[in-house]
Every structure is written in structure tokens, then in C-alpha cells.
Amino acid sequence: MEEKIMSKFDTYFLMKTDDAIEYAKEKVSQIEWDADSMTAKEIGDGNLNYVFKVTDAKGHSVIIKQAGVEARISADMKLDTDRNRIESEILVLEGKLAPGYVPEIYFYDTVMSACGMEDLSDHEIMRTAMLEHKIFPKFADQISTFMAQVLMGTTDVVMDHQEKKELQRKFINPELCDITEALVYTEPYNDERGRNRVFPPIADFVKEKLYEDQGLHCEVAKLKMDFMTRAQSLIHGDLHTGSIFINEESTKVFDPEFCFYGPMGYDIGNVIANMIFAWANGDAAGAADFCKWVEDVLVDVINMTKEKMEKYYDEHVTDTMCRNELYKKYYMDTIIEDTSAVAGLELIRRIVGMANVKDITTIADEAKRARAEKICITAAIDFIKNRSDKKCGKCFLKTLKDAIAEVDAMHKSCCSHVAER
């Protein structure tokens, strides 16, 4: 009888760098590691997990990502380590639906709650690159392809309905959804757990525009219940610019541990909101070319995603009742509407909520930062309340432009008021 070889990785523990080296050697045996020169570095910068880069002197490398039992951002956020399985499996699936747009997964391990994946160090984190106002001309085309193929490819319109339900069951993700329901759909409007981080100069503005507007709260409640109940597509669930690796040639989406079956506008809206943060950073720095590129991206991401989804719909729709031009138009309209709403929700929660974004927090000049934050919130409220008016990319850019004009007019009238006295 074959004896099972004991390994220190037979029971779960949180790895240190030396363990990661041993682990990579054991689990990624398809690489001919140069054992003596292997080194590991913990490179995690996220809120939740531990990420090791293991390399050797021959130029081999692998990324090992491990889930801990509590979030890095806060010890009282306890999380099921099964999220690493969910993340690995969805990356494999996304890689099939949109080849080349996600890192390759070499293995995943439900004992250690860890996986090994392709090292994407020849790419940069998009948020970091955009803080330097770098431009990526292929981004809108590439991200829209990724979204159209993955999101449309997992809908009931296209998939066998029983297979779809099987995926929905497999990717049910209650704990991570719970975080989104709290941080995106609740706390930015009432600070019920005292965790919001509001920039003091805009505290009064936030109180009036976000905490006290019952009409806004009603819209957010509708959107929250929609997020919780509408199993439309297998969404990434956290598609911000820190979950995108990019270079001149290529775009790769990673970190999909918030994925589940939800409304697809959630992903598209996240991309839009995070591009607006990049715009706000560029604007505060006077980076005109960069801002112009971001504005084009806003328009293109909406229009290209919609076009590609329509094409995908025409080519792949299987549900016979959905093979109907009027229904298709209705379906596309709801996606753009949801995208608008979520762009608004993400803009708000990243300005006032627990997890702020560097694009905004690194604006050193206090007045410029306050202006940027007010522009984001003003645009956000329009994106949420007037979501059904949004039809194409230009509508999204107009919301941003109108918000700038509104905030600047507000500022002007209060300054002239001071001058008059």
C-alpha cells in the first residue's frame, strides 16, 4: 500500500515567507526551481489577504495568495477562508470566458486556503500607475471586452438555466456580500457603526447631502435589495483600479474574491467610479492630457461595453423569449441604469466610507481635495437619483461636467458673499 507522505501543509496555518518558499516548491513542481536561490517576499497591500512572491535566480516566479481567518484591515472582521477557493475557481472560469484577461491559476488548495498563480510583475497596478498620470490607450477596449464576455457569458439569457443555477450555488458568497452590503449600501448614508472616514472640511456637506436625504436613502435601499436579490451575472464584485493590472499592451483583472451572482452594472459602475477618482487626482494636479484621456475612457467604456454586449446577445442568446429586439433594448437599458447607480454608490462610499482611495487622499492641498470630494459626491447623487436618464457614454461624462460646474458655482457664490461683506 502506498504510504501518504506527510507534509507540513496538511493542516492550515498562516504562512511566513520561509513557508511560502517550501510551499511553492511542493505545489508548483512543474517549475524546475533552483532550490538554493529561492526567495520569497510578502507583497500584499490589500485589506484582506497575504500575498507572497516566490522567485529564484533562474527567473522563475509564482505568486502565492493565502486567505487568513481575519481581515488584515481589522481583526474583528472574521472571514471564511473558503473565499480563496471561490477566487481561484472564478479566475479559472473568467480565463475561459475571456482568455488572457486574468492571471493563470496553477493550483489551489482548500487545506491551506491558498493558490498559486501567474506572476504579473510585468504589469502595474492601474491605480498606482494612474497616480503618476500614465495613460493606457487600450484600456477601454480591453476592459469592455472582458466585461462583455464574462458578464454576458454567465447570464440566464445565454446559459443553460440549470447550469447557471449550479454556478450560482457554487459562488454564493454570503460573507463577502455582507461586507459590500454594509460598506457600500448602508454605512455611507448613516455611519451606523461609526467607521466612516469623512474629510473634516466636507463634514457639513456630507451630513446634508448624504446622511439627511430620505429620498436618496430610499433609492439606495432599492439598489441594496436589488444587489441582494438579482442574480443576473457572475460579477467580479470589486472591480476597482486596484484590482486591475495594466501595461501598454495588456489589461488583467485579478482579486475577484467578492464575486457572486449579482447585477452586472455593479462591475461596470465600479470601473466608471474609479476612473472618476483618477480624473479628480489628475485635475487637482493640472494633468490636462491625462484628464482628457480619462474622459474618453468614461465615454468609451460605456459605449464599447454596451456595443459588445449587444453583439454577444445577438450571437449567443439561447432563451427563446429573450430573442426579442424590444426585450434586448430593455435589458441593455437596465444595465446602463444599474451602471450609473453603482458608479454613484462607489463614488460615495470611497469618499466617506471606511475604505478611501489614494487618488483622493493623496491630494495634499486641502481646498483642492475638498473640491474633488464635493465633485465626486455631487456627480454620485445624480448617477443614483437620475439613473434612468443615462443612456450612453456621453450622459456619464455630462454628469461629471455638470457636477464640476455646480461645485464651482457653489464655491464662487460663497466667496463673493465673503468679499461683499
Q: For residue 369, give the nearest of 202, 240, 142 by alpha carbon.
A: 202
Candidate ranges 27-35, 41-49, 148-156, 390-398; the one touching ligand ADP (CB under 6 A): 41-49
Q: Which partner in Mg ion, ligand ADP, none is near 324 (CB below 5 to 8 A by kind)?
A: none
Smallest gap from residue 44 Cβ to ligand ADP (A): 5
Q: Which of 9, 22, 25, 46 binds Mg ion (CB under 5 A)?
A: 46
Smallest gap from residue 391 Cβ to ligand ADP (A): 34
Is residue 254 involved in binding ligand ADP (CB under 6 A)?
yes
90-109: which residues touch ligand ADP (CB under 6 A)? 103
Q: Are 318 and 151 in contact (CB under 8 A)?
A: no
Each residue 228-257 as x (binds Mg ion by CB under 5 A) or -, in order, gives ---------------------------x--
Candidate ranges 24-32, 45-53, 125-133, 214-222; the one touching Mg ion (CB under 5 A): 45-53
- The residue count for binding ligand ADP (CB under 6 A) is 20
Q: Distance between CA 272 and CA 383 in Å, rounded?
A: 11
- The residue count for binding Mg ion (CB under 5 A) is 2
Q: Which is nearer to ligand ADP, 125 or 410 (CB)?
A: 125
Q: Which is nearer to Mg ion, 66 or 232 (CB)?
A: 66
266-325: which residues touch Mg ion (CB under 5 A)? none
Q: Which of 63, 90, 202, 380 binds ligand ADP (CB under 6 A)?
A: 63
Is residue 45 involved in binding ligand ADP (CB under 6 A)?
yes
Q: Which of 24, 28, 38, 48 binds ligand ADP (CB under 6 A)?
A: 48
Q: Which residue is nearest to Mg ion (CB)?
A: 46
Smallest gap from residue 355 Cβ to Mg ion (A): 10
Smallest gap from residue 389 Cβ to ligand ADP (A): 34
Smallest gap from residue 413 Cβ to ligand ADP (A): 42
C-alpha cell at 194: 461609526
Each residue 108-147 as x (binds ligand ADP by CB under 6 A) or -, in order, gives ---------xxxxx---x----------------------
Q: Which is nearer to ligand ADP, 82 or 160 (CB)?
A: 82
* Most distant CA pair in the chain, distance: 94
Q: Which is nearer to ligand ADP, 42 or 319 (CB)?
A: 42
Q: Which partner in ligand ADP, Mg ion, none is near 43 (CB below 5 to 8 A by kind)?
A: ligand ADP
Per residue, what are the HEC states of the chain? CCCCCCCHHHCCCCCCHHHHHHHHHHHCCCCCCCHHHCEEEECCCCCCEEEEEEECCCCCEEEEEEECCECCCCCCCECCCCHHHHHHHHHHHHHHHCCCCCCCEEEEECCCCEEEECCCCCCEEHHHHHHCCCCCCCHHHHHHHHHHHHHHHCCCCCCCHHHHHHHHHHCCCHHHHHHHHHHCCCHHHHCCCCCCCCCHHHHHHHHHHHHCCHHHHHHHHHHHHHHHHCCCEEECCCCCHHHEEECCCCEEECCCCCCEEECCHHHHHHHHHHHHHHHHHHHHCCCHHHHHHHHHHHHHHHHHHHHHHHHHHHHHCCCCCCCCHHHHHHHHHHHHHHHHHHHHHHHHHHHHCCCCCHHHHCCCCHHHHHHHHHHHHHHHHHHHHCHHHCCCHHHHHHHHHHHHHHHHHHHHHHHHHHHHC
Residues forming the site for ligand ADP (CB under 6 A): 43-49, 51, 63, 65, 103, 117-121, 125, 254-255, 257
Residues forming the site for Mg ion (CB under 5 A): 46, 255
